[in-house]
Amino acid sequence: AIGNAFAVLSNPEKRLRYDEFGCDQERVSAGQARHYDYYTEFEADITPEEIFNVFFGGHFPTGNIHMFSNVARDAHYYPRRHRNERAWTQEPEEEENRPQNSYSAFIQLMPVFIIIIVSVITQLMATNPPYSLFYKSSIGHVISRETENLQVPYYVDKNFEKNYQGAELQELEKTVEKDYIDYIQTSCWKEKQQ
């Protein structure tokens, strides 16, 4: 059924005939009555295996189909052909059996290497946040402080007072208070859901 559908949809002639007459078994053409069987009129030109290979194997069906498999070297492949054509065998070509050289393997793995390198660099460049709402000795947030406005407790590292003073400290404390309010709202919402 999949092969038949693909055959009709991929062939403009068959698609036009199907659109005009549907799956009717009889039609009149050029003044002469002819009977068409649906399964031979819209016969699959491609097998479900070939459709699978088109989408997942990367090989599009053509006059000479190349199959790559773990089958022995002298195995034959018998593709399904259009009606009125005879079956043929395809011997593996020498080009297909050559092992890939290391350069092409390196090129294929290049995107993976790039992703790994970018993620490592990103991790190395990441800095710890200047504060935490909770005690975290693993990142050095061990000194307790409170915001001036709402007296929200938060933790900082040893160098905090050197880096944050005046307007910068006030902006940071506003951020601490906003994060604390968001944390409390989220906790309340989770508790309501239980």
For 19-23, 61-65, 163-167, which range has the lowest pLDDT when averaged over its residues? 61-65
pTM exceeds 0.85, yes or no: no
Identify any residues that bridge with 33 across adjacent strands, giving them in sequence order.
28
User: Considering the chain, what is the average pLDDT of its residues?
Assistant: 75
The domain spans of the chain are: 2-97, 131-193
Burial class (CB in 10 A: 0-12, 13-18, 19+), 46: buried
Which pair of structure tokens corresponds to residue 25? 């078994």
Residues in Cβ contact with 180 at an 8 Å cutoff, skipping those fewer than 6 apart: 133, 150, 152, 154
The yes-or-no verdict on residue 150 having pLDDT over 80 is: yes
- pLDDT for 136 equals 92
pLDDT band at 23 (very low <50, low <70, confident <90, very high): low
Q: What is the mean pLDDT of residues 137-141?
A: 90
Q: What is the mean pLDDT of residues 77-89?
A: 49
Distance CA(6)–CA(70), nearest Å, equals 28
Instruction: Evaluate whether 65 touches 59 at the Cβ level (below 8 Å).
Output: yes
Q: For 37-56, how does the pLDDT look when each residue is reduced to its tens digit (9 = 90+)? A: 444 455 556 677 777 777 77
Which pair of structure tokens corresponds to residue 69? 């498999």
